[in-house]
């Protein structure tokens, strides 16, 4: 115990008992600590440069975006229904003519209104973050339409969707608002 105290004392006395702050920071033990802190800092900086702690790093591989057009209707389709090919891979497709978004992600296909649920601005898809983004008030949503952040107060509006053989059939007039119809909203997808 006394030896241990003496060891520490020896370290601190390496400058003859009259250490300045500069001297104290440059004793052998202080240098070891500083080296440790320097190396640790480099490791954390590398992690930051790789983006491992960022929102983007937690996302999957970027989901691409494309335009899509509704297919010709079939006999029996209602006037407010639109047909689309079932996406074969994850992706976001936008039918501007009908203001519909078709999104496939994590084994599910959804149909959304293109309008932001806050004040109807057209939403964008940001493949780098795998998020929908509203340029007006910066709201963000996940690929399944769930609200993340911003001025909006609910998830993206979904549209009823069903499968008919190799096609999706979407009702473009029956907006499902998550805050008013949670159960219908949650069930509005088809599994792939």
Q: What residue ranges bind ligand FES (CB under 6 A)?
A: 116, 118-119, 121, 134, 136-137, 139, 150-152
What is the smallest separation between the CB atom of 113 and ligand FES, expressed in angstroms?
Answer: 12
Q: Is the dihedral of CA 26, 29, 35, 36 positive or negative?
A: negative
What is the smallest separation between the CB atom of 141 and ligand FES, expressed in angstroms?
Answer: 10
Q: How many CA atoms lie within 13 A of 145 on its CB side?
A: 31
Taking the C-alpha atoms of residue 192 and residue 61, their distance in angstroms, rounded to an integer, is 19
Helix (H) or strand (E) holding 47: helix 28-50
Nearer to ligand FES, 118 or 181 (CB): 118
Q: Which residues pair with 79 in a beta bridge?
A: none
Taking the C-alpha atoms of residue 160 and residue 148, their distance in angstroms, rounded to an integer, is 22
SS3 15: helix
Nearer to ligand FES, 130 or 139 (CB): 139
Q: Is the dihedral of CA 73, 88, 69, 187 positive or negative?
A: positive
Nearer to ligand FES, 110 or 132 (CB): 132
What is the smallest separation between the CB atom of 119 and ligand FES, expressed in angstroms?
Answer: 4
- Residue 148's nearest CA partner among 133, 136, 158, 135 is 133
What is the smallest separation between the CB atom of 88 and ligand FES, expressed in angstroms?
Answer: 31
Nearer to ligand FES, 83 or 118 (CB): 118
Nearer to ligand FES, 96 or 151 (CB): 151
- The alpha helices in 51-153, defined as continuous H runs, are none
What is the smallest separation between the CB atom of 120 and ligand FES, expressed in angstroms?
Answer: 7
């Amino acid at each position: 115990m006394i030896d241990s105290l003496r060891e520490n004392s020896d370290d601190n006395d390496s400058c003859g008992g009259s250490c300045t702050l500069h001297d104290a920071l440059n004793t052998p033990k202080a240098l070891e600590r500083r080296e440790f802190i320097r190396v640790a800092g480099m490791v954390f900086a590398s992690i930051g440069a790789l983006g491992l702690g960022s929102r983007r790093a937690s996302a999957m591989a970027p989901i691409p975006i494309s335009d899509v057009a509704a297919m010709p209707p079939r006999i029996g389709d209602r006037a407010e229904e639109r047909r689309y090919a079932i996406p074969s891979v994850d992706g976001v497709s936008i039918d501007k003519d009908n203001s519909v978004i078709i999104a496939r992600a994590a084994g599910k296909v959804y149909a959304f209104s293109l309008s932001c649920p806050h004040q109807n601005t057209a939403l964008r898809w940001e493949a780098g973050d795998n998020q929908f983004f509203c340029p007006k008030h910066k709201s963000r949503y996940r690929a399944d339409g769930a609200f993340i952040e911003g001025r909006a107060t609910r998830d993206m509006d979904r549209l009823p969707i069903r499968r008919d053989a190799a096609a999706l059939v979407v009702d473009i007039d029956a907006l499902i608002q998550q805050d008013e119809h949670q159960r219908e909203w949650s069930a509005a997808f088809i599994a792939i």
